[in-house]
């Protein structure tokens, strides 16, 4: 059999037999082209929904059926730490842990974590509902719907996104198992906002809290203790890519961020923010740490998570 007649499965089986699987061998990019899921860099759409699930599928075959279904939905698919271990014998992304409790968090277990996270980004809430419709083999753990306010402002009235890196460096590095190359770590936080109290502050006081002008978004110089100055890392490589979706039902914010390492990205920023003035107006109660799987290669039978399943 020459190399061209090898199926991808046979190719992987051959690697596995030789002790070389996509999940534990560094592969040069030329051998394994890298694909990304489009929902990571996509700008914030009018409607969004994030939903975390428990996987009730028991076998790898059932898990593959779940992954094929969610791939066909066009949602962004991410895995949580609880999917790994003995359940399916899959090897986890190196830096995937369970979201810890940070200072000021009042976490409610039923709003935290999940084996799988689906994120729907769409034009209308009805499309979000379609994309997040029930999937056999998954049970819903929690779901939050978000929407876009005019001018991409959050519920506090400030513009979102100005401090995002122009060229996000969020994709998992070469030190991850090769089957995860092209993926990224996704942190989701569900945060209630103390609206009436916030609205009682003068615009000047609110601007001092964030370190930016409310109307223009322009940064205020010399506000070293502001949200933006505390949140900003010293090194460009630790910058996170943030997306914010105000809750549809009550004052709150779905905070989503992407990075190549959740510890030096989100967690480090969160610790720098501990004790900030903004903290008085925030109540983080849910969310989780997830890993967005690499994208599909465009061929008919590819599905999200295929390399993860086939190579472990």
Residue 190 touching ligand HEM (CB under 6 A): no
CB of 180 to ligand HEM, least distance (A): 23
Q: Among the candidate windows 15-23, 111-119, 138-146, 159-167, which touches ligand HEM by CB under 6 A?
A: 159-167
Quick one: which of 156, 185, 291, 303 contacts ligand HEM (CB under 6 A)?
156
282 makes contact with ligand HEM (CB under 6 A): yes
Shortest CA distance to 186 belongs to which of 254, 100, 261, 109? 261
Q: Please identify, using beta-carbon distances, which residue of 142 and 255 lies nearer to ligand HEM.
A: 255
Residue 160 engages ligand HEM in binding (rule: CB under 6 A):
yes
What the block records as the tokens of 193 is 């906002």
264-271: long-range contacts, CB 8 A cutoff, minimum separation 24:
264/233, 264/238, 265/185, 265/187, 265/238, 265/239, 265/240, 266/185, 266/187, 266/240, 267/100, 267/102, 268/233, 268/238, 269/231, 269/233, 269/240, 270/102, 271/102
Which residue do the tokens 């061998």 mark?
A: 25
Determine which residue in the list 232, 264, 277, 302 makes contact with ligand HEM, applying CB under 6 A. Answer: 232
- Which residues 30-59 are close enough to bind ligand HEM by CB under 6 A? none
According to the binding rule CB under 6 A, does residue 243 interact with ligand HEM? no
208-227: which residues touch ligand HEM (CB under 6 A)?
210, 212, 227
Which residues contact ligand HEM by CB under 6 A?
154, 156, 158-163, 189, 191, 210, 212, 227-228, 231-232, 240, 242, 253, 255, 266, 269-270, 273, 282
């Amino acid at each position: 059999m020459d190399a061209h007649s090898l199926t991808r499965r046979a190719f992987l089986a051959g690697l596995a037999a030789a002790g070389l699987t996509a999940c534990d061998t560094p592969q040069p990019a030329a051998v394994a082209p890298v694909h990304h899921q489009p929902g990571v860099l996509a700008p914030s759409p009018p409607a969004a929904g994030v939903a975390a699930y428990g996987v009730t599928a028991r076998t790898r075959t059932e898990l593959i059926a779940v992954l094929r279904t969610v791939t066909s939905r066009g949602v962004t698919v991410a895995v949580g730490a609880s999917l790994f271990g003995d359940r399916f014998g899959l090897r986890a992304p190196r830096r995937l842990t369970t979201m810890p409790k940070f200072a000021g968090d009042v976490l409610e277990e039923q709003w935290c974590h999940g084996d799988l996270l689906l994120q729907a980004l769409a034009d209308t809430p009805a499309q979000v509902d379609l994309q997040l419709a029930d999937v056999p083999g998954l049970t819903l753990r929690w779901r939050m719907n978000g929407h876009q306010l005019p001018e991409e402002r959050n519920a506090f009235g400030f513009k979102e996104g100005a401090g995002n890196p122009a060229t996000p460096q969020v994709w998992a590095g070469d030190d991850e198992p090769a089957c995860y190359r092209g993926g990224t770590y996704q942190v989701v936080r569900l945060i209630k906002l103390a609206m009436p109290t916030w609205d009682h502050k003068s615009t000047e006081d609110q601007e001092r809290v964030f370190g930016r002008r409310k109307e223009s978004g322009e940064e205020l110089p010399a506000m070293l203790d502001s949200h933006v100055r505390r949140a900003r890392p010293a090194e460009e490589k630790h910058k996170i890519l943030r997306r914010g979706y105000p809750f549809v039902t009550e004052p709150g914010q779905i905070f989503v961020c992407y990075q190549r390492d959740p510890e030096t990205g989100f967690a480090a920023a969160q610790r720098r923010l501990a004790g900030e003035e903004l903290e008085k107006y925030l109540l983080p109660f849910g969310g989780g740490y997830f890993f967005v799987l690499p994208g599909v290669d465009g061929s008919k039978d590819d599905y999200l998570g295929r390399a993860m399943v086939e190579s472990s």
